[in-house]
Each structure stands twice: as structure tokens, then as C-alpha cells.
Amino acid sequence: MGKRIVIFTASIGSGHDQAAENIKRVLLARGPGVEVEVLDFMNILHPTISQFIVSTYLKVIDMFPSVYHYIYHITEKIRSQGKVNDLITYRYLKKITRLLSTQYTNLIVFTNPFPSVMLSSLKKRGLLNIPTATIITDYAAHSVWLDDTIDMYFVGCEELRQDLINRGVRSNRIIVSGIPIHEKFHLPVDKVAVAKKIGVNTNLPTILIMGGGLGLGPIKEALNRVDEINNPIQILVVTGNNEQLKSELEIRQYSDKHRVKIFGFCNNIHELMEVSHLLISKSGGLTITEAISKGLPIIVADPIPGQEVVNAQYFSSLGAAKLIKNLDELRDCIVELLFVNPDKLMDMVKNSFNAAKPNASENIVNRLLVCLKELYDNDVASI
């Protein structure tokens, strides 16, 4: 009988999906004879419900961050969510069991908390008996991530491990692995060749502005502040899947002192980071981990309340990021790091490399393969 791992993600933002694909790629490379399937939880739901959830979530965090902040913290304190979870699970019970029963599954991995909520409910009811592992894709864990039925947790830092222990998770279930990113973010790159390919001037300080794969956050406002800087600089802007924003920025006029290049969704973020000196971005778990792995200092302005605030605070405490309250502080912060006191920027570069866990995907996969072997040996022994 072959070995099969199912990785559940949920396409709410791009980070959870990327983490799932990163683990799948390394598993297939490292685990001969292992079958890996990535399933999107949002596809389990009715398409209308799925679309409503995603669009509502994105609108709330983009237009009403204070509402998201309130919901995040209120739900963090609510422990009696079982009835709601059971109701959702009952509604989609047949679909879930069909997905898992068509082929024998040895191990289930979660990169998003919502599918783990549903399947944990099945385990509690005795309807599922498959080992489960959760990869927490931020440096903080909302209570929705946590459940007694989860057999393994992979976390990004020791501080989060200790937090989970304090909240009742057994220490032997928690592994400090780092957050799984693509290996291209820590492999050597020919910087001169990359700069030539992208068309950037290596003699100019280069600022990269991003808003994740969905192009969220105050990208346009950040660009306005950066464009006010008097010193000649180079600005790279990534709008992700936000085509409307890309079109707006492409027709704008910018300071004659600056070189501005606008990108939409691209698969070479690692190259853009390689030729940049400073990143201005939202602080999603994967984005900030990728930057840290490249030794790229980050400025986070007014992050999305909840896990992204904690992500920014964590790396700020390590000296690898600057967390500013609002965009009014952005220009002065950049000028300070690039032109007034560049030694501070170099310290941030060193701190970034020191904080990085570039082998997170390999660490997680190695542990999953050990778990698979133990399960296989137990199955053989029971025959």
C-alpha cells in the first residue's frame, strides 16, 4: 500500500496556498513513493458561499481594519465554538469523507485553520482516525488554530512554541521548524545578472513596495510618500493580482529624480528582493519570512490588525523590521536608513539573516516522513 499525504489549505490570501505547495514540492522530491495531494477547503464549500467568504474577508481587512481587529480579538476569547463547528461539519460531512475515502490517506496536514476546525470535529466524533499536523503560517496563533486532536504543530519561532505550551498544547507536539517558503529565497543568486534582467540600476538605492499576492494594503499611499524623497532612488512596486491598481500606477507621473517600475503578479519576487535594499510591505507570515531569508530589511506601516501586527512586532523586536504607526512616518524612516544612518540598515540586514530559518520546508518534510515511516512500520507489525 502506498503512502499518501493530503494537505488542506484555504485560498483566503496567497500565503496558505504557497505554504502547502512548498511542502508538497519538497515532499515529492524527498519522499520517493509518497503521493501528495493539496486540497483547497474553499472548493469544498458551495461556490457562492466560498466567494462570499473570500470577498467579505478581503473587503473587511482592506476597508474596515478596525472591524477585523474587533472580530479577531472577540473570537480569540470565545472557547465554545463546538456547536458552530459541528454544524458546518455536518453540512459538508459527505463531501469531506468522500474526498478522504476515495484513496487511503496516511497523514493530513493543514496550512490554514478552517479545514483543521472541520476535520478535528470529525475526529472528536470518531468519524476520522488519521494523524494530523498543523503548520502555523504566522508568528502568532489565533485560538482557531488550536485543538486537542492535532497530533503535531509546526511553528515559526520558539516564542510561539512557548505560547502554545502556555495555552495547553503539550510540548512534545510542537516543533520549531520555521515557516515553509520556497527554496529560491535562500539559494545563491547572481545579483548583477538579475539586475540586468529586471532592468534596475545597481548604483541607486532600491525600495520594493508590495502588498502580497492580492495587492492589499496602502500601496498607492506608500508610493506617494516614497516619491516625496529628495534623494534619487529606484522604486519597484508589485501590485499582485490587483490589475486596477497596476493600471492606475502605470499612468501616474513621478518625480524626475526617481526610477519607478510597476509589476503585477510575478513569480520572481525573490529576484526583486535580491536587488532591493528595503522592503515596504504588509507583514503576512510568508512575505515577511521570505524577506528575512533574503536579508532584506522591512518597514511595516499600520499592519492589518491581528496576526500581522504580531508578525511585525516580532521581527521589530529582533531588529530586522521597523514598525511605524502610520504612513506619515514613512519618508523620514526611509531617509534615516538609506541616507542618514546606513549603518542601521546594515544592522537590520545582519539581524534578518540571524533570524532566518531558511530550511523550514525541509525540517517539516523530514518530520512528516519520519511520521509516515512510523505509521507504516506499525501497520506492517499489525499484519
User: Using CA atoms, how far apart are residues 209 and 80, in angstroms rounded to an integer?
Assistant: 41
Q: Which domain holds residue 245?
A: 184-355
Find residue 135's DSSP bridge partners. Answer: 154
How many structural domains is the chain composed of? 2
Give CA separation, 82 vs 131, 216, 247, 360, in Å: 20, 32, 45, 32
List the Cα angle 268/185/40 in 5-degree steps. Answer: 75
Q: Do residues 165 and 144 share a domain?
A: yes
Q: Do residues 239 and 311 share a domain?
A: yes
Q: Do residues 124 and 111 share a domain?
A: yes
Q: Do residues 14 and 95 share a domain?
A: yes
Q: Do residues 15 and 146 share a domain?
A: yes
User: Using CA atoms, how far apart are residues 362 and 382, in angstroms rounded to an integer?
Assistant: 30
All cell numbers assigned to 4: 499518501
Q: Do residues 197 and 245 share a domain?
A: yes
Neighbour-count burial of 368, counting CB atoms closer than 10 A to its CB (0-12 exposed, 13-18 middle, 19+ buried) = buried
Q: Do residues 10 and 148 share a domain?
A: yes
Q: Do residues 169 and 44 share a domain?
A: yes
CATH code for position 105: 3.40.50.2000
Which run of H or E residues covers position 32?
none
Q: What's the pTM? A: 0.90
Find residue 61's DSSP bridge partners. Answer: none
Q: Do residues 7 and 31 share a domain?
A: yes
Q: Do residues 100 and 201 share a domain?
A: no
pLDDT at position 128 is 82
Strands (E), the chain: 3-9, 34-40, 107-110, 132-135, 152-155, 174-176, 206-210, 234-238, 259-263, 278-280, 298-301, 321-324
Q: Do residues 127 and 264 share a domain?
A: no
pLDDT at position 379 is 53
pLDDT digits (tens), the chain, 383 positions: 568 899 999 887 778 999 999 999 999 998 788 999 999 888 777 667 777 777 777 677 667 677 776 777 677 665 445 544 555 555 666 677 666 765 688 999 999 998 888 888 888 878 788 999 999 999 999 888 999 999 999 999 999 999 999 999 999 999 999 999 999 999 988 999 999 999 999 999 999 999 865 556 688 899 999 999 999 999 999 998 888 899 999 999 999 999 999 999 889 999 999 999 999 998 999 999 999 999 999 999 888 778 889 999 999 999 999 999 889 999 999 999 999 999 999 999 999 999 999 899 999 999 999 998 887 666 534 43
pLDDT at position 86 is 55
User: Using CA atoms, how far apart are residues 155 and 161, in angstroms rounded to an integer?
Assistant: 7
Q: Determine the angle formed by the axes of helices 219-227 and 243-250, rounding to 10 degrees.
A: 20
Q: Do residues 107 and 193 share a domain?
A: no
pLDDT at position 383 is 39
